[in-house]
Structure 1
């Protein structure tokens, strides 16, 4: 056998490595001195130097000191009176003993519910407790910074009262393990109160260890602090998190701060590590650990798969916890292990309209700000783990936000964690022409103007999918123009209410198509499951350069097959066509067909505004108040059964006669502070069509005063299938200083089947004639009179005022012939040429 020669230097290096690792293990396993959850005593001198030398740090410190000093002064006047304002339920207390706190819960019709819809009276006890715990936090942090015991005395006295009283309540067993104080909403208890308790202890532990006392309102004097009881409270809050709630949603994330902080509050190191393992790798039926949560971030740039207000909030929480736990045990290198969480943080900044409002899906809000604190946390943990790419990504983003005044450091964690060594470079955010929110089925297009004015930008999206906090919205659409989201998704307000459950969440609140009056969600999260909108074609493909500066399109499909009365297949082509730096229009082609007999399809479009005005004077609109009321009194069970499709909320319902001509209508929006804007619709006419105009419920978070007004809405009904002759609408936004540029819209047909449109426009710079061909994939259109042959999905032929060829755009296609011009596309199947 051949012997392997091992050098002496190799042996020495191995011994040294073993020694270093052993030393690090011993060092880490030694008892840690508190505080160490957010910050350590070793870091204090650097923090004090920041306060002395950096204005932002001094400002944070002075504001914290001002708040804490006011409370210390109030406390010292009469500690007993000060503490007795906590929400004690004296009627249930025993003599010479701490009483329990008032419990906070919400019950409607005998059913226990969470506190989203609780009354002000029901919420006040929670808010008061939260206020006192925050005071204790503030004073605890001031004790850490100044080492003045007067702060620790106040903080520990509040914590003492909380510790004594909270244990007087019986722990709820609702859903396995509810709360002490919120019997039917343990989820909220650990989010609002549970995470603060361990932090207060962590900041005041050295005071207590050195003989510091707390004030007891029952004995009316200072007493020793019952650390063992406090440990029981923290242990219980950790246990609630582990055993209450559900997995597979953001619940596990929202509860994780309580789990991590209460785990780290344990003085017994073995117990601390055991509880912390439920965040790191031990999963339960009620709580996902981060190794499972991370599966949602499969690729760099993946986002948490919920709606906008949850996805970044959830990711920001995880970024913060990665930093906290990494600081506790740097050998974990959590930033490196879970780097895709950090890469997800900036994505929401790219799902915005030109006016910076967010595209809306599900329960998502219209406005939000970038989580700049989370950017700094990501930068800090990346620096700890030596991740240069992430430092290079977030440093310039933070610098940009600080430079532009979009962000100011004001949270106490900034004082603990952030420095001025982030970046000299200021990031530039370039919004792409197209993007996708994959888990929401969203395909968006934008075309910003060379004027760089918000009002001149154009943007739209199609999307729809099932997720936690998603809606049964079908294949939904939003349209932007003149500085506003005009073609709107309804949004949401209070959870649990009739409006939310039986309208906001359902098809009728969205710009979609309802089939046989029966489109609905089924299964999945709260029985709102729908299929995901699937991408068929788009140009430009996300991440690729657009072939034309003026054109883009997407084609998507959707199966409306939940329940048993729709059973429909659908396809939607949405195109964005710019005609000048200040003008452009959208083309929406929606095909829908059902497997069932006697089918009918309703195209819905909601637009903020005062009213919709039809230019056709022969449509014969009449009041039809019962048209959408079939399910108005149907069964409704919270989060289970709904009054689908939700259109019984429509008011002032007026319906036309059967009408087969082309239709022209305008949504007037004349109460905006920025001036009047309009959305004009050109609707191709087909047989078996009826038109209805209604007042839909208010669109939440729309511009004032439309956030408190009904939403004018158009419904087009097609009796029979709507596939060969689909819903075809051309939308043009314009403002009061302009006139609509589109002069006429005519259909292109072949053998009675719709193939596209001829659109004539008078733009501010020229007169255009455009042939817009919109077919299903691999369709063929031939019109010998026009000299057009096209095999493909989408194309635009543009002519100038003299009818000379101006440009040809092929979004997807194999071959296009226009008179003497023949184009055979390459493998990309796209093409653009200016003549």
Structure 2
């Protein structure tokens, strides 16, 4: 397809670039440091090799019991067995992983030697590297390729997916670097014959071909598996000496899709718009994009005429997006199996910059150069590997930082975020929340879930995840009970799709500000979303959630959560769940009594757990379960968080009373990646049960975070109704000696509220009227609505249907 006659090396760097690399090492401190550290580390191994090549190589994980005399034995295979069943290596023990770890270490030594041979042209490095690669090639061919899941591994018979990621990609890079040495007759040490022999070119080509073929014929499409296997495919394709075969194998990354491997032209469809991200959870989305960018750079260098950056620029623009999904304390918004902490992929920023310069994409250059300059200036990024020395140059740009917007969305996760950073610029004064939920690879069956931030911490938390395939992961962390959601008829669950965790996507009804907009008010924002709970056949519910962020001063504010839920099934009941890190949950009401109810959530505790069948909804993990009698009065309760390093903090809840309600407090499992010591302590959790529909009279909770040096500002919360139907709240608060009265109208879209006594008429979704203690009008906010009348004030909104005015 592409005529390309080149002398090796050419996968990561070419022989023509050697003088440039030497110049960087001589004149640029960062490059000199990387090279010097690599040489010091590698020279220790090279010295051991030359002292006794046979003894050094015999430490490779050879299974001598199965070897035939006079021939290389096979390697020990890496396998993991649970209850007699072979499984992938996610939960392999250290002992099971030991042969693979040893082999990976030796191959890395060989790769390091190969890079040093390229820089120094000292053949001792090439001889050591070629001897390790020689031993691997001879031994690996003694094993049979597994056919598990279409095509398993060579050395990992039940996890070929992992084998190509940790072993398969290294081999062609070693070969490419040492090729000038072995091509001119450089010898490799054969530990069986105890002498130096010619390198086995044909056998090496067979091994590279096999590893490329494993990728093409193993794994799954429509997930990050195709990305994670792609380096092995690309590097082994480029290791083929026959140019036609090289191009054919390379086409499986560029354009030729198989049943088990997506090509780049398909994977790139995940980045339809500028800013779109890889559609999985946080730890996978940047990693996947970074791998694609690196491979695009490698291939672009090999085939500059392809101009892959120009063809797929949105892949590059996806790299900084995770930096926008952070709380004021820089922890990551969590969905699915995502982690709470992470760092920007600055290595990938560097690759994107190099790729953009190749293709003349000035917009990308202008985006990434300042971000890299800032990261380097602040010590967040330091180039650390030889690929940087090969590819990257000094950054010439003025430092610049990412400006976080008021609202944002993670579209594939159904997430709608709101943030309000304080003018104090302190993380503890920032406010942020989100609502979301959707099906994806590594997603959770979570329904319409929220997280809430306050006083420098994520307080209203998603459980997160620990190790895969464990009971708590499969039967709690990734199903409904681990999330701040509503469980319908005790039966909400995922169904179909990846791991049988399929759920519908949370849909946006309204939001203000819209993504990218400044917002009409500096104090207020809101979202309204909807969700269909249709997993299984026992929930069959329609839901709607309004979540509002309301700031009352630079250091104070609160959240309003209104969750409507109704099922089309008879005898319906709905449970509202809220998890908050802390020591305990304390209710202020003296008339609200709790009794132990240890069996309340245990009906599915011993149901089937096998394969893709789980013990839904997962609340059998709740401990110390205590439930109230039916209670219809207002409630105030507080989560106490007193064990952090800094000041004690609190989350106070105001819950307007409704009929047919009972309250349960439980200790849920510890929240993964919570601040210490709460990552090892139970998570206090509130469950509110509504018997019957929770639509006209929804779950309504006002959340206010505060610390021990402040008092909570909210003094009262009362519901506003029309003919027994909930319409909004009257919230009174005392903020820095100012008394505020706020009328908050929260309706479904296009509904009408009319109350002559209050003098309020509102047609719309969300509005706030703020008065001072003299009942003088302070401001009016309309998040979405057509018309609002407050006494003599009449407001008709513009086409955006939003409005804010200070009086």
What TM-score does the superposition give when structure 1 sets the normalisation length? Answer: 0.96
CA distance in 2, matches of 1:453, 1:411: 35
Aligned partner of 1:819 in structure 2 is: 791
Displacement of 1:98: 0.7
Aligned partner of 2:231 in structure 1 is: 257
Displacement of 1:598: 0.5
Partner of 1:653, secondary structure, is: strand
Aligned partner of 1:192 in structure 2 is: 166
CA distance in 2, matches of 1:722, 1:42: 71
Displacement of 1:801: 2.0
Partner of 1:413, secondary structure, is: helix
**Which deviates more, 107-116 or 316-325?**
107-116
Displacement of 1:120: 1.0
Displacement of 1:312: 0.6
* Aligned partner (choices 623, 633, 655) of residue 651 of structure 1: 623
Aligned partner of 1:784 in structure 2 is: 756
* Aligned partner (choices 590, 594, 602) of residue 629 of structure 1: 602
* Aligned partner (choices 268, 274, 281) of residue 294 of structure 1: 268
Displacement of 1:671: 0.6
Partner of 2:333, secondary structure, is: coil
**Which deviates more, 436-445 or 206-215?**
206-215
Displacement of 1:478: 0.2
Aligned partner of 1:482 in structure 2 is: 455
CA distance in 2, matches of 1:778, 1:184: 56
* Aligned partner (choices 671, 679, 689) of residue 707 of structure 1: 679
CA distance in 1, matches of 2:232, 2:257: 16
- Report the CA distance shift for 1:431/1:99 in structure 2 as closer, same or farther (over 3 A): same
CA distance in 1, matches of 2:53, 2:595: 71
Within 5 Å, which residues of 2 pair with 1:462-541?
A: 462-541=435-514
Partner of 1:377, secondary structure, is: helix
* Aligned partner (choices 570, 577, 588) of residue 561 of structure 2: 588
| Contact in 2 for aligned 1:443/1:554 (Cα 8 Å) | yes
Aligned partner of 1:81 in structure 2 is: 55
Question: Deviations for 1:413-432, whole angstroms, at most 9, x for unmatched residues?
Answer: 11000001x33221221100
Aligned partner of 1:696 in structure 2 is: 668
Aligned partner of 2:725 in structure 1 is: 753
CA distance in 1, matches of 2:275, 2:760: 42
CA distance in 1, matches of 2:696, 2:206: 69
Aligned partner of 1:432 in structure 2 is: 405
| Contact in 2 for aligned 1:696/1:710 (Cα 8 Å) | yes
Aligned partner of 1:407 in structure 2 is: 381
Residues 1:543 and 2:516 are matched in the alignment: yes
* Aligned partner (choices 637, 655, 667) of residue 683 of structure 1: 655
Residues 1:576 and 2:549 are matched in the alignment: yes
* Aligned partner (choices 573, 591, 595) of residue 600 of structure 1: 573
| Contact in 2 for aligned 1:580/1:765 (Cα 8 Å) | no
Residues 1:763 and 2:735 are matched in the alignment: yes
CA distance in 1, matches of 2:135, 2:735: 72
CA distance in 2, matches of 1:302, 1:378: 16
CA distance in 2, matches of 1:371, 1:427: 16
Partner of 1:643, secondary structure, is: coil
Question: Deviations for 1:725-781, whole angstroms, at most 9, x for unmatched residues?
Answer: 100000000111111110110111111111111111111252211111101111111
Aligned partner of 1:275 in structure 2 is: 249
Within 5 Å, which residues of 2 pair with 1:13-52?
A: 29=3, 31-52=5-26
Displacement of 1:76: 1.4
Aligned partner of 1:3 in structure 2 is: none
| Contact in 1 for aligned 2:4/2:243 (Cα 8 Å) | no
CA distance in 2, matches of 1:710, 1:75: 52
Question: Deviations for 1:82-113, whole angstroms, at most 9, x for unmatched residues?
Answer: 11111111111111111110001112123221
Partner of 2:372, secondary structure, is: helix
CA distance in 2, matches of 1:568, 1:550: 33
Aligned partner of 1:793 in structure 2 is: 765
Partner of 2:787, secondary structure, is: strand
**Which deviates more, 499-508 or 396-405?**
396-405
Within 5 Å, which residues of 2 pair with 1:452-471?
A: 452-471=425-444
Residues 1:445 and 2:404 are matched in the alignment: no
Aligned partner of 1:67 in structure 2 is: 41
CA distance in 2, matches of 1:44, 1:610: 60
Displacement of 1:541: 0.6
Aligned partner of 1:11 in structure 2 is: none
Aligned partner of 1:662 in structure 2 is: 634
Aligned partner of 1:150 in structure 2 is: 124
Partner of 1:571, secondary structure, is: strand
Partner of 1:43, secondary structure, is: helix
CA distance in 1, matches of 2:782, 2:694: 25
What TM-score does the superposition give when structure 2 sets the normalisation length? Answer: 0.99
CA distance in 2, matches of 1:274, 1:723: 59
Residues 1:100 and 2:74 are matched in the alignment: yes
* Aligned partner (choices 183, 206, 209) of residue 183 of structure 2: 209
Partner of 1:746, secondary structure, is: strand
Within 5 Å, which residues of 2 pair with 1:305-454?
A: 305-420=279-394, 422-454=395-427
Partner of 2:319, secondary structure, is: helix
Displacement of 1:619: 1.6
Gaps of 5+ in 1: 1-24
Aligned partner of 1:16 in structure 2 is: none
Question: Deviations for 1:465-486, whole angstroms, at most 9, x for unmatched residues?
Answer: 0010110000000000000000
Aligned residues between the structures = 807
Residues 1:611 and 2:579 are matched in the alignment: no
CA distance in 2, matches of 1:565, 1:368: 38
> Which 4+ stretches in 1 moved above 3 angstroms?
none
CA distance in 2, matches of 1:613, 1:411: 52
CA distance in 1, matches of 2:549, 2:255: 47
CA distance in 2, matches of 1:782, 1:708: 50
Question: Deviations for 1:427-467, whole angstroms, at most 9, x for unmatched residues?
Answer: 22110000000000000000000000000000000000001
CA distance in 2, matches of 1:597, 1:618: 32
Displacement of 1:30: 5.2
